[in-house]
Structure 1
Amino acid sequence: MAEGPIQTGDTRAHSIAKASLGVLLAVFGIWISATFIPSLIWAVVIAVAIDPLYARAEARWPGGRRAWLPLIATVLIALLVLAPLTIGVIEAAREARTVIAWLADARANGLAQPEWVQHMPFANEISGWWQNNLATPEGTAIQLDRVKGSLVGGNSALVGRNLVRRSVVFAFTLLALFFLLRERDNFVVQLQVGGRRLLGSCGDRIGAQLIRSVRGTIDGLVLVGIGEGAVMAVVYLISGVPHPFLLGLLTAVAAMIPFGAALLFGIASLMLIGQGAIGWAVAVFAIGMVVVGIADHFVRPLLIGGSTRLPFLWVLIGILGGVETLGLLGLFVGPATMATLIMLWRDYIAGTNFSDLSPPLALRADRPPPDCD
């Protein structure tokens, strides 16, 4: 008769010890792998984004799901990222000689005041500043040294470390993506079982909401950003902006961040102003703002909010807050997190009859607020 309580006590003690050990090991494991967690999240985001296409490829070539199909998908993702960077580096190398020659000439002869300065507001003040700071070789050298000191001084080592770190993160992301695609079915089954045991029937809904949020965010940010870059590349080409396709590519990348494309419009306008094409400069900036307005206020809310059932205000908070906290990764993690929180909140208040709550919740000037229960 005494064995029952002892066995129960032992079982309870073993369960508590097992749970405590699991929590400690989980915390320790997260601490050990903290450097690689962004790479794992990136791999999950990419896998979720390409899953519809990858599932079709698996259905068509079922024999390649364990070897060459994950490898091909990983290589294509790598090329999709590295190809634009390679093009940008090549274009920058081509322009480096021209920039170096221009800087040498500016140091030797100064910068002559362009004609368009006389057509700007406060032309006399701008002209006076130009004559004092840029018209002579000495003034130009001082200004260039200031710019060089602010941009390069003390930052070269930091830039080098960041470049190495991001290269390692990118390489590990590709490695994680390969194994994630190869073991795709096993991972999905394990996540479903773990979600149901931990969250019950709500686990599948949360997983589906996260997937919809990530895909909706990719459609709303990446695809719309690419569309903005393509439209503006045509505008740059027509208006005579130097390197229109490279600038269009940079615009597409910047457009993935809300209000980020305006910086590229400004750079293009300044290039045109430097060429004396003030009318085209104004036109490029105005067209760019119209394109951004349509994309940010109509297309993106429809794509992101429609797939996540998330109001645009929370979409914007998720994007901007995610970028501030997690960098580029926050573009995708932020909206997915906000969408899941809103879904859980809606589940929590589901079934409430708000008409019964409206009289006591309506605070009127002639009635004191209700007492708390």
Structure 2
Amino acid sequence: MISRPPVAPPELPTPPDCLKKQKAASLVLYIALVLLALWVVRDFIAVAAWAGVIAIALWPLLQKAAGNRWLAGRTTLIATALTLAIALLVVLPVGVGIAQALREAHDMNEWFQAAQENGIPMPDVIQRLPFGVQQVSAWWQANLAQPLRDSAAMKGLHSTTVMTLGRHFGARAAHGVMVFAFMLITLFVIFQAGPRLSGSLMKGVRRGFGDDGAQLLARMAAAVRGTVSGLVVVGLGEGVLLGVAYFVTGLPHVALLAFVTAIASMLPFCAPLTFGLAALWLFSQGSVAAAVALAVFGSVVVFVAEHFVRPVLIGNSTRLPFLLVLFGILGGAETFGLLGLFIGPALMTVLVVLWTDLVQ
């Protein structure tokens, strides 16, 4: 007789309570794995976030380039060109600034040596101050007009504290270069993925959160894009206008000053520091009229840009009121640093959408 293998009894259906426990256990496992993965790549989250902000801002340009008949299908070429453009926009101004600083290093060293031997002569502008002339003159004569070689400040410059600060600055600079390099690599990968990445992301959001989630994601992307336009474009505009004012008033190193002003103008309420210091330098050189004119012109430019142009650019794209735009930018910067300038308005957009859904 041929023996037949024993037939396994049919599996009993899993009770509903067991299914619920299995789903809950699977959810806990997925969350734990996601948190573990985020912890592993925690040092690169900011890198990916910066790359995401830049990619969102340039996404319309990427789509326009991909739709061109001469560039259709050449995703690697488009990604390379856009990534190199971003790298040059950062590297070239920084390189120009470093080169300018190196050219001025010789004169600064001579001035420093003269200050050590002879002190710093009191500028004539102090005698023209409206008040406090005697107090400022006495302090200057006691602390700066004498040879600085034996002063406590100069002794501190040769201490180990300066060496420690120098090493710390070098380490931070090296870390910044590394972060920037990884950001460019991440940005290239995002650009190369192109529409495939966008389609997969929207598909996953629709599957997980429905059409409302997809619309919310689209509005957050619009908020980031509008914030980039409002901060970067307006900052560059302020830098150009104030650069013209620097040239007219006769300030040295106009290009470098305009670049620093443009960078400062991208941060809320920081532009007055740059043109204010420039006006103060003109005032110290005896150019009172030029200093006053620069201060007035800069104040008008910053007032118009901060209160009219920038809120319109950001608010129209995000459909946010001005106060929420301001809270999002300042609160985001305080919480997340520079990256928060772009994350804050996006989070305010989520808040407005949730509030609208609640009251409707």
TM-score by length of 2: 0.91
> Offset at 1:145?
5.2
**Residue from 240, 258, 274 that aligns with 1:248:** 258
- Letter matched to residue 38 of structure 1: A
Paired residue total: 349
2:115 touches 2:148 (CA, 8 Å); kept in 1?
Answer: no
1:192-341 equivalence runs, <5 A: 192-341=202-351
User: Is 1:23 matched with 2:31?
Assistant: yes
Q: Which residue of 2 aligns with 1:75?
A: 84
What displacement does 1:226 show?
0.3
Task: Determine the C-alpha separation between the residues in 2 that align with 1:135 and 1:237.
Answer: 32
Given residue 24 of structure 1, which amino acid in structure 2 is its aligned partner? A
- Aligned residue among 37, 45, 50 for 2:45: 37
Q: Any stretches of 5+ residues in structure 2 without a counterpart? A: 1-9
1:96 to 105, 121, 129: 105
With a CA cutoff of 8 Å and minimum separation of 6, indicate the structure with the bigger relative contact order: 2
Q: Distance in 1 between matches of 2:312 and 2:150?
A: 50
Q: Which moved more, 1:281-290 or 1:228-237?
A: 281-290
Number of the residue aligned with 1:179: 189
Q: 1:46 aligns with which of 54, 59, 65?
A: 54
In 2, distance between residues paired with 1:245 and 1:228?
Answer: 13
Distance verdict in 2 for CA 1:147–1:238, change over 3 Å: farther
Q: What residue is the counterpart of 2:144 in the other structure?
A: 134
Percent identity (aligned): 41
**8 Å Cα contact 2:126/2:137 also seen in 1:** yes
**Deviation, structure 1 residue 95:** 0.7
Relative to structure 1, is the Cα distance of residues 17 and 224 closer, same or farther in structure 2, using a 3 angstrom cutoff? same
TM-score by length of 1: 0.87
- 2:3 aligns to what? none
Give the CA RMSD over aligned residues: 2.3
What code does the residue aligned with 2:96 have?
I
Change (3 A) 1:348 1:27: same
Deviation at 1:18, TM superposition (A): 2.3
Q: CA offsets, 1:45-79, max 9 Å, x none?
A: 111111111111111111311x2221111111111
Structure 1 residues 348-367: aligned runs within 5 Å: 348-350=358-360
Query: 1:362 matched to which residue of 2?
Result: none
Rounded Cα–Cα distance in structure 1 between residues aligned with 2:294 and 2:156: 30
Stretches of 4+ aligned residues off by more than 6 angstroms: 147-151
